[in-house]
């Protein structure tokens, strides 16, 4: 009887492995770490494996237009997926907002950034990092924040632009730049900014950073891609997303 049970269990595992597949996902840099956790949970539940590529949303848009074999895009904005759908490169009706990002002003130095962002007016820094606003929505939100604060003209000469939000974070984390605007998800732990010092930028200072997902044309008939899009809407994925400081 025991051997029979083991045989059926082995047969079930074989069946799962036969059905399991890989899905290629382009992930905005700010969402890389949360998506790794989601991908692990997705694989445990479905057997499918999400193969992640991280980069700027603008960069991915160019790659997708040039035929990159991604099946899902997790963008850092809602405009790029809309353009992709309009261009016939994405599945119509598959777009949805998976997260709303939060912007943070951050320094790897303890006590350097106050909890109201007044350090921006202090002049006590040589350089401030932002992501390239032409490619990265978090960079655009940073420029919008400085504009609404009336500080853009004064701080323009001090701006250092990263290719994406991951590179921007590295500029600040290594101490090469004193402070910078990063994604809250990059510096949050246990619900608060816990490394260095930071200011959570009020949402009133920039337009909402609505991050949309879209099923790309390459994934239209791929069960693993369709399954991941469904998983991203589920409670397990939402719990992970919330834990990194995103709104839903």
pLDDT at 214 over 70: yes
Looking at per-residue confidence, does 134 or 17 come out higher? 134
Instruction: Tell which CATH architecture fits domain 103-200.
Output: 3-Layer(aba) Sandwich (3.40)
Give the pLDDT band of residue 11 (cuts 50, 70, 90).
very low
| 111-132 tens-digit pLDDT | 999 999 999 999 899 999 999 9
pLDDT at residue 135 in the model? 83
Could you state, in order of their start, the residue ranges of all structural domains in the chain?
2-100+210-243, 103-200
pLDDT tens digits along 12-64: 443 444 478 999 999 999 999 999 999 999 999 999 999 999 998 999 999 99
For the domain covering 2-100+210-243, report its CATH number.
3.40.190.10
Q: 2-100+210-243 and 103-200: same fold?
A: yes
- What is the 3-class SS of the chain, one letter each residue? CHHHHHHHHHHHHHHHHHHCCEEEEEEEHHHHHHHHHHHHHHHHHHCCEEEEEEECHHHHHHHHHCCCCCCEEECCCCHHHHHHHHCCCECCCCCEEEEEECEEEEECCCCCCCCCCCHHHHCCCCCEEEECCCCCHHHHHHHHHHHHCCCHHHHHHHEEEECCHHHHHHHHHCCCCCEEEEEHHHCEECCEECCCEEEECCHHHCCCEEEEEEEEHHHCCCHHHHHHHHHHCCHHHHHHHHHCCCEC
């Amino acid at each position: 009887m025991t051997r029979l049970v083991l045989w059926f269990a082995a047969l079930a595992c074989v069946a799962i492995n036969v059905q399991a597949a890989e899905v290629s996902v382009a992930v905005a840099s700010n969402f890389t770490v949360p998506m790794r956790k989601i991908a692990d949970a997705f694989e445990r539940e479905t057997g499918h494996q999400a193969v992640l590529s991280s980069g700027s949303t603008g960069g991915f848009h160019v790659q997708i237009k040039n035929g990159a074999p991604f099946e899902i895009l997790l963008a850092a904005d809602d405009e790029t997926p809309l353009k992709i759908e309009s261009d016939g490169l994405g599945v119509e009706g598959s777009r949805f907002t998976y997260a709303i990002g939060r912007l943070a002003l951050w320094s790897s130095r303890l006590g350097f950034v106050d909890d109201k962002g007044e350090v921006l007016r202090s002049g006590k820094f040589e350089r401030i990092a932002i992501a390239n606003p032409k490619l990265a929505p978090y960079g655009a939100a940073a420029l919008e924040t400085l504009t609404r604060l009336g500080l853009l003209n004064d701080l323009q000469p001090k701006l250092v632009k990263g290719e994406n939000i991951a590179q921007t974070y590295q500029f600040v984390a290594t101490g090469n730049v004193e402070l910078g605007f990063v994604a809250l998800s990059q510096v949050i732990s246990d619900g608060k900014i816990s490394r260095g010092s930071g200011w959570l930028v009020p949402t009133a200072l920039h337009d909402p950073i609505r991050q949309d997902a879209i099923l790309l044309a390459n994934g239209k008939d791929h069960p693993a891609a369709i399954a991941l899009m469904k998983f991203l809407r589920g409670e397990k994925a939402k719990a992970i997303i919330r834990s990194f400081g995103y709104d839903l």
